[in-house]
C-alpha cells in the first residue's frame, strides 16, 4: 500500500547582534529544500525550492518558520506549488506554521498554489504573533491549470495575536465542495483567489479604512492592528497585480 511522502522544513531567524539576521535553523527534507539567498539591509531571505513534484495524494508537507525578537525574515518560493493526483488514495496535506516574536518581522510571499484536476489537497496556515510583531502574509490559489477543471482544495487560515484570535477563515472549492462555491456569492466564476494579511503595531492607532480595490477586491480592517485584502481574478497574473498594488498602497 502506498502511503505518500512525509516532509518537513524548518526556518528560525534571530537577530545577530550586528544589525542583521542570522538563520541558526535552516533545514528541509524530501521535496522541501531551503536556500538562503542574497538580501539587503537587516533581513534574511529564504527560498523554498521544490525538489520533487507534489504534494500528491497521501502526501503531508509541513513548513515551520519563526522570527525571533529583532529578526527580519523574508520567505518566498522558486516556483508555484502544484497539487497533483497520486497513486496513494486520500487527501494530501500542506501545513504552514508561522511564529513571530515581539519586534520580529516576517514576510511570507510564496508563489501560487495550483489545484490541478483530480487532486485533493487540504491547506492549513496557522500564524502566532506576539504583541509588537510585524507580518506580511500572502496566499494565492489557482483552480486548475489552463483549460482544466480544478481538483478539490480546502484551505484554512488562522491568525492569533497575543494568544487571541485575529482572523479565522476557511474555504473549500472544487469537486465535493459545498454547493455554491463557484456561484455569484463566492467566486463568481473566477479561477484565481488570494488574500493578503498585513499586521503592523501602528495600525492600532492609524488603521486604514475599509475600501474596494477594484471590482473584485476589498481591503478590510481587522479587530486589531491588521488589515485583510481579499481578491478574485480570472488568472494568476492579474491576481498578483491586485495584491501587489494593495500592499504598495499600505506603504
Q: Where residue 40 falls among pLDDT bands split at 50, 70, 90? A: confident
Q: What is the dihedral of CA 179, 214, 191, 189, to 10 degrees?
A: 50
d(CA 27, CA 29): 7
8 A C-beta contact, residue 152 and residue 119: yes
pLDDT at 87: 75
Q: Is the pLDDT of residue 2 over 60?
A: no
The cell for 114 is 495550483
Residue spans per domain, the chain: 6-185
Give one DSSP letter per residue of 113-128, joined into a string.
Answer: EEE-TT-EEEEEEEEE
When mean pLDDT is compared across 50-54, 65-69, 145-149, 186-190, the lowest value belongs to 50-54
Q: Would you call 237 exposed, middle or buried from its count of C-beta atoms within 10 A (0-12, 13-18, 19+)? A: exposed
pLDDT at 3: 75
Q: Where residue 1 falls among pLDDT bands split at 50, 70, 90? A: very low
Nearest to 4 by CA among 84, 78, 64: 84
8 A C-beta contact, residue 96 and residue 126: yes
d(CA 167, CA 172): 17
d(CA 11, CA 187): 34
Q: Is the pLDDT of residue 46 over 70?
A: yes
Which pTM was predicted? 0.95
d(CA 33, CA 9): 7
Query: For residue range 204-216, what is the model confidence (pLDDT) as tens digits?
Result: 888 899 999 989 9
Q: Where residue 189 falls among pLDDT bands split at 50, 70, 90? A: confident
N- to C-terminal Cα separation, the chain: 52
Amino acid at each position: 500500500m502506498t502511503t505518500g511522502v512525509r516532509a518537513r522544513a524548518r526556518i528560525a531567524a534571530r537577530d545577530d547582534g550586528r544589525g542583521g539576521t542570522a538563520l541558526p535553523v535552516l533545514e528541509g527534507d524530501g521535496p522541501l529544500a531551503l536556500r538562503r539567498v542574497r538580501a539587503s539591509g537587516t533581513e534574511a531571505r529564504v527560498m523554498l525550492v521544490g525538489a520533487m513534484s507534489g504534494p500528491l495524494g497521501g502526501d503531508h508537507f509541513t513548513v515551520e518558520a519563526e522570527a525571533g525578537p529583532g529578526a527580519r525574515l523574508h520567505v518566498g518560493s522558486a516556483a508555484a506549488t502544484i497539487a497533483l493526483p497520486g497513486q496513494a488514495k486520500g487527501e494530501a496535506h500542506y501545513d504552514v506554521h508561522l511564529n513571530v516574536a515581539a519586534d520580529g518581522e516576517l514576510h511570507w510571499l510564496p508563489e501560487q498554489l495550483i489545484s490541478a484536476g483530480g487532486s485533493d489537497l487540504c491547506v492549513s496556515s496557522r500564524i502566532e504573533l506576539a504583541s509588537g510583531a510585524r507580518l506580511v502574509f500572502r496566499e494565492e490559489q489557482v483552480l486548475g491549470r489552463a483549460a482544466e477543471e480544478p481538483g478539490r482544495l480546502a484551505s484554512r487560515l488562522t491568525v492569533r495575536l497575543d494568544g487571541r484570535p485575529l482572523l479565522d477563515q476557511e474555504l473549500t472549492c472544487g469537486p465535493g465542495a459545498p454547493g455554491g462555491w463557484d456561484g455569484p456569492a463566492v467566486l463568481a466564476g473566477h479561477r484565481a483567489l488570494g488574500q493578503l494579511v498585513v499586521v503592523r503595531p501602528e495600525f492600532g492607532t492609524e488603521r486604514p479604512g475599509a475600501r474596494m480595490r477594484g471590482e473584485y477586491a476589498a481591503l478590510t480592517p481587522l479587530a486589531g492592528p491588521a488589515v485583510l485584502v481579499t481578491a478574485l481574478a480570472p488568472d494568476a497574473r492579474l491576481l498578483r497585480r491586485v495584491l501587489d498594488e494593495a500592499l504598495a498602497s499600505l506603504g
